[in-house]
Chains A and B, each alone.
Chain A
Amino acid sequence: MLKKLSGIYTPLFAVFLGIFVGAIIMLVSGYNPIVGYGALIEGIFGNAEYLGETIRTMTPLILSGLAVAFAFRTGLFNIGVEGQLMVGWLAAVWVGVTFELPKIIHLPMAIMAAAIAGALWAFIPGYLKAKFKIHEVITTIMMNYVALYVTAYLIRTYLKAGMERTEKIASSASLASEYLQVITEYSRLHYGIIVALLAAVLMWFMLWKTKLGYELRAVGYNQHGAHYSGMKVNRNIVLSMVISGAFAGAAGAMEGLGTFQYMSIMAHFTGIGFDGIAVALLGANTALGVVLASGLFGGLKFGAANMENVGVPPELVEIVIALIIFFVASSYLIRLIINRFQKEGK
């Protein structure tokens, strides 16, 4: 019983510690943590618009979190979600701008294009890992930068329309929803949240209800064991990266088809892919956990802006997120603390 619960304890405790240390930092730097966190909570739930924007912020986080979690499950560390997201974003916008089709074909096609682009981008590190045993952490980091520069170059050279961005996508490829906007006092909430939640169900189903998922988990759990029981380890490594990349690419589609309806020439990373690492870690690499953790981080990210109204720098939230990752990663420390408490309780 206790063992089962500790799976929930660790992330909850990590969140608590992160928020607690954040409060100390606020105190030390002369801000009132109650006022600061009060503004943060108001920025998340304060009104229908804030709530809508929080859910919108959450949408790509779910998908990028799923991408990282899926790779983790199979023993891979995909730090390249950021880059896969960017190529996915560009592919979705390209399809959205270039084609004229009925919505029922156009929208799925644009999302598929994003997923395929992300999958292809992730195929490279997957293939290099399987074929040359190159650690995917380094290759995915490098691929992020390649994606950053290449997408900017492609937009500047082939897709630029005035300003520093592409044209707007056709409405037939858009995820925007007037209905959702109206009920949330004109936030930018869009149908992407449905796509993201479906993706979470899909990941759960794939991992736990199919033969493929069983094999992928087996490879992640024990590569040699999987190899000796006749599974094709290398093929599974590539496949796992490709599926992970597809989730990441779809996260880009949420931004391209939902929130922005275009893509800008980017000088810096979006950060969504990196936040996906935090989301996956906190969500213990489960589909449900990822959705819940996305809710938390989506809220923190969007609500942070409201902290400026009471004079607290919104970057505090970045610190809190970093601390939460730190504490989740140091779960050994948390287990020590919990054990200590339990012994004293007896």
Chain B
Amino acid sequence: MDIIQLIISSTILYAAPLIFTALGGVFSERSGVVNIGLEGLMVMGAFTGIVASLYFEGLGMGNASPWFGLIIAIIIGAVFSLFHAVASISFRADQVVSGVALNFLAVGLSVFLVRKIFDKGQTDVIKFSISKIDLPILSDIPFIGPIFFTNIAITSYIAIILAFVVWYVVYKTPFGLRLRSVGEHPMAADTMGINVSKMRYIGVLLSGAFAGLGGAVYALSSSLQFSGTTIAGQGFIALAAMIFGKWNPIGALGAALFFGLAQSLAVSGGTLPLLQDIPSVYLSIAPYVLTIVALTGFIGRADAPKAIGTPYIKGKR
């Protein structure tokens, strides 16, 4: 019982940053822009989240500091993603290369600034992290209450609810239809009077905002400080979750929860009787291997948006 509660609460904790970031990836890739740069966007989010939170702590904001940190991280994440947007949409750069450059730049720039501000390789540790709460009433439900509604970070709930909101936006609103249309057939969308570049900019900016939030949530709830190695692959796991979830927000949510479970087991697996004998390496590589398996089509075909990866040049057939 205790073990189940431990695993589920840590699964949701690990999954939250992945959910946010994967949802960001959905926006970008649905608009037709590959976003290998999710990792770098998370790095920027984690960096600004911690630095801003430390700043607000200094102002005496106390428990509210990490929340302000999250807001700043969303803004900076969006601004930083402009780099990818301008390169891949306006300058017609190869989207994969631009994403790679973004990842490089994020680590370089954030550690450069950390050294400038703190005069050492990592930031100070924040005093106020995102607090874990027991949801009133719901946590009193026998069995389910202690597992799902006790001692859980609020951001984890926000992430799960947001997945449904994003699903609604992408599939049920005119905005979502336009976003998907420029990712599937930009020329047709252009003919219908949709501004392809504008929609793609919005897609990438949203991915920046979401990934920035994801990075900040990780930093402000798990690592509690920032260095060049704080975000080590979570962005790529989020990318994997998005693909595993077939570019669908709900699918991405499910995959992120599953990968969160894998991470949670990789960390705490040694204490579980069933898993003790399995080398943790299998759990560590699970998200990556499963993504390859998913792509191979064993778990139903995953179809990427058709126009993904190609810049749209008006008037060119």
- Which of B91, B287, B296 has a CB less than 8 Å from the CB of A132? B296
Contact A318/B236 with A142-B288, A142-B291, A325-B97 known, Cβ cut-off 8 Å? no
B87 on the A face (CB < 8 A): yes
Classify the secondary structure of B's interface with A.
helix
Return B252 CB to nearest CB of chain A, in Å: 15
A329 on the B face (CB < 8 A): yes
Most A-side CB within 10 Å, residue of B100, B111, B240: B100
A260 on the B face (CB < 8 A): no
**CB closest chain-B residue, reference A318:** B108
A214 on the B face (CB < 8 A): no
Interface size class of A (residues with CB under 8 A): 35 or more
B295 on the A face (CB < 8 A): yes
A145 on the B face (CB < 8 A): yes
B62 on the A face (CB < 8 A): no
Return A19 CB to nearest CB of chain B, in Å: 14
Binding-face segment, A146-154, A195-203, A228-236: A146-154
Total contacting residues, chain B, CB less than 8 A = 45
Determine the distance from Cα of A326 to Cα of B92 in the docked complex, in whole angstroms.
11
Binding-face segment, A5-13, A44-52, A86-94, A133-141: A133-141
Q: Return 9 A-B CB contacts under 8 Å, by A number.
A: A142-B289, A149-B284, A313-B112, A315-B111, A318-B105, A319-B112, A325-B101, A330-B87, A330-B98
Cross-chain contact A128 with B112 (CB below 8 angstroms): no
Cross-chain contact A313 with B115 (CB below 8 angstroms): yes
- Which of B93, B233, B240, B287 has a CB less than 8 Å from the CB of A330? B93
**CB closest chain-B residue, reference A330:** B91
Determine the distance from Cα of A331 to Cα of B94 in the docked complex, in whole angstroms.
10
Contact A277/B100 with A313-B111, A326-B83 known, Cβ cut-off 8 Å? yes
Task: Give me the 8 closest cross-chain CB pairs, A-B, nearest first.
Answer: A318-B108, A322-B104, A322-B105, A313-B115, A330-B91, A153-B281, A329-B93, A142-B288
Cross-chain contact B108 with A142 (CB below 8 angstroms): no
Return B99 CB to nearest CB of chain A, in Å: 9
Cross-chain contact B105 with A315 (CB below 8 angstroms): no
- Residue numbers of A with Cβ under 8 A of B are 25, 29-30, 77, 79, 124, 128, 132, 134-135, 137-139, 141-143, 145-146, 149-150, 152-153, 157, 267-268, 274, 277-278, 281, 313, 315-319, 321-323, 325-326, 328-333
Determine the distance from Cα of A274 to Cα of B243 in the docked complex, in whole angstroms.
22
Determine the distance from Cα of A268 to Cα of B34 in the docked complex, in whole angstroms.
25
- Which of A30, A145, A322 has a CB less than 8 Å from the CB of B236? A145
B107 on the A face (CB < 8 A): yes
Cross-chain contact A141 with B236 (CB below 8 angstroms): yes
Cross-chain contact A128 with B104 (CB below 8 angstroms): no
Determine the distance from Cα of A150 to Cα of B288 in the docked complex, in whole angstroms.
12
Contact A77/B96 with A146-B285, A316-B108, A326-B83 known, Cβ cut-off 8 Å? yes
B116 on the A face (CB < 8 A): yes
Determine the distance from Cα of A315 to Cα of B118 in the docked complex, in whole angstroms.
14
Cross-chain contact A329 with B94 (CB below 8 angstroms): yes
**B-chain residues with CB within 8 Å of residue A128 when the two chains form the complex:** 292, 295-296
Cross-chain contact A150 with B104 (CB below 8 angstroms): no
**A-chain residues with CB within 8 Å of residue B102 when the two chains form the complex:** 322
**B-chain residues with CB within 8 Å of residue A323 when the two chains form the complex:** 101, 105
